[in-house]
Amino acid sequence: MDYRTLGRTGLRVGVLGFGCGNVGGLLVRGTPAEQERSVARAVDLGLNYFDTAPLYGDGQSETNLGRVLRALRPRVYVGTKFRVPDVPAAELPSAIARSLDESLARLGLERVDLLQCHNLVTRERMGRSVSVKDMRDAIVPALIRLVEAGKIGFYGMTALGETAALHEVLDAGIVQTAQVCFNLLNPSAAHALPPRFPAQDFGRLLDHAARRRTGVIVIRVLAAGALSGSEARHPIAVPTVDPIASAPEYAEDVRRARLLEALVKDGHADSLVEASLRFALTSPAVSTVLLGYSSLEHLEYAAASIAKGPLSAEAVGRLPALWATLAER
């Protein structure tokens, strides 16, 4: 396992992380034995960052991860999140503190290494989103106080919402980490998109993160499974998926993914899954790539794929023509 520094946190994290979310579902719907076996194997393979959230399985992911960590006692980093309700700005700090306390109770921990905002970020608050002003004036100051209290090590956000708002927060340097959607179906966090490309344009978000040494955690690296090129879902995985920043429907993401199989036919990777994982490593701004697993076999394959390193320059050079094909469909 290769390791990269998570921005200015200084944490050294494996380039492959362990996503404990609902999409893969292993830490939500797997059996206790499967969960313990997979986490143990992940640690053996060098994975040392585990990502969870209260939203995953309505707290079940945190509960299960906590149980496994108590049984195995590995030396790993744990990150969780909070999603604040639509309350006045003055009430945001207490909502964050309450969510963290509930997460710590489920995890059985006194402290987590990373706490991230799970709300969408927009220029002005809209429903369950938080605004740039909320982040600057209420949320980040509350997170700093939690660091000072010894309850979290570092803090960040999930970089989803309005592109302009995300740029503004990252350019201000007020968060230490960002979870960024970056995959072969939406490469806009690092690459210019062709005209009419069917995805949200994140406007080279990784460049904004790199300028402020914000640690980048890649999410949706397989577009929730669509970049397998198959609509089939593992029995443990969530049965249906809402795409993020790509096509309106999962089936359309799968159809678009199949247009990228030229990477495999040209010999740049053994599978579309491998190509997708290795693509995420091509940006030096990326610290770790989160993947949600449904089985121990998924974990083994991902680790073997990521061990091959980033896609070659030749493969990356092939991509603009393939992305142009997606824009034409």
Phi, psi of 31 (to 5 degrees): -75, 155
Share of the chain above pLDDT 70, in %: 100
The residue annotated as part of the active site, out of 56, 155, 250, 301, is 56
Q: Which fold has domain 3-328?
A: TIM Barrel (3.20.20)
With a cut of 80, say whether residue 37 has pLDDT above it. yes
Instruction: Map out the domains of the chain as residue ranges.
Output: 3-328
The whole-number average pLDDT for the span 97-114 is 98
The whole-number average pLDDT for the span 293-315 is 97
Express each pLDDT in 54-85 by its tens digit: 999 999 999 999 999 999 999 999 999 999 99
The whole-number average pLDDT for the span 232-238 is 93
- DSSP 8-state symbol, 235: T
User: Number of C-alpha atoms within 13 angstroms, CB side, residue 236?
Assistant: 20
- Going from the C-alpha of 204 to that of each of 48, 131, 256, 307, the distances in angstroms are 27, 21, 21, 26
Q: How many CB atoms lie within 10 A of CB 102?
A: 14
Does the annotation mark 56 as catalytic?
yes
Q: What angle do CA 115, 117, 119 make, to 5 degrees?
A: 155
Express each pLDDT in 201-226 by its tens digit: 999 999 999 999 999 999 999 999 99
